[in-house]
Structure 1
Amino acid sequence: MKSALRERSNMKFTTLYDIEIPVEFRIIRIETVCSYLSISKRVLIQGINNGNFPPPLMINGKAIGWSYFIISHWMNNANINP
């Protein structure tokens, strides 16, 4: 058991900064979405509450974001061109 623990402690891990994530899987934060759509946070949140905008993903306890794929799909269906 001790040898397994010793081997694990010598393992090298790859961070997300070391790999290229395809655009459609990237998470876009609220500031970026608002900037891209040229709307305020208040308008965006109202759209979420009214069901006119896709709900966000919870990134951690406080941060929210959207998948680039979800935003681009929503924009295509809503015929929005930034």
Structure 2
Amino acid sequence: MATSSAATAVRRLATKLAPSSTITVSGTRQFHASGPKHYGDEYIHAEHMYDIQGMKNRKLKVFLGTFGALAIGIMVPIWAVQYQRKKQGGV
């Protein structure tokens, strides 16, 4: 809401400061988005997608996800340093 009012204020100020012969406004520009996409009876954001408490093997999945993210966060920098050293002719 504030963005549109600020844009309107800037537009009014520009029309007051600029010569009237150089500004020609035809139509209104607006941003718009299409609605959500439905594929038959299936909707992308189904109700069961966010049922964290009802997830099967929740503790195992959370542990594996956390361990995987931690392992990637540690191994990628180590690999990058080794790769750079190898490219420079060291080690």
Is TM > 0.5 for Structure 1 vs Structure 2? no
Q: Which structure carries more relative contact order (alpha carbon 8 Å, separation 6+)?
A: 1
TM-score, normalised with respect to structure 1: 0.28
Highest Rg: 1 or 2?
2
TM-score, normalised with respect to structure 2: 0.26
More helix by share: 2
